[in-house]
Amino acid sequence: MSDSCGAPEGGVALADVDAGNQAVIQGTVTREGQPLRGAYARLLNSSDDFVGEVATGDEGTFRFFAADGEWKLRVLASQGFTGEYTVTAEVGKVIDVQVEA
């Protein structure tokens, strides 16, 4: 299912990810300690250009595969929440971002 922005809902299981030869940026969006469905995680490059977006599913999770370097993660959720996080991706590593919306 998707909404008007075109981002598919779904989320991902975060448990057993092996970064291998990729850089992974992932996380969970929660509110009051519970996973938040329907939040949007956006990935922007170092020039603030839009790269990708996913909507969280029942588990409140998101995941991006990125190139090495600085990235900005922007999370949008209901009740006017917007959070921005600078992350440094590195091949072979998983960056885990926990967002309390």
For 10-43, the DSSP string reads -----TT---TTSEEEEEEEEETTEE-TT-EEEE
Strands 40-44 and 50-55, sheet pairing: antiparallel
Calculate mean pLDDT across residues 56-71. 95
> Which domains does the chain possess?
23-100 (2.60.40.1120)
Per-residue pLDDT reduced to its tens digit, 8-47: 555 556 556 666 788 999 999 999 999 999 999 999 999 9
Model pTM? 0.82
For the record, the structure tokens of 33 come out as 């300690």
Specify the pLDDT at position 20.
Answer: 77
Q: Give CA–CA dist 51/33, Å, rounded.
A: 29
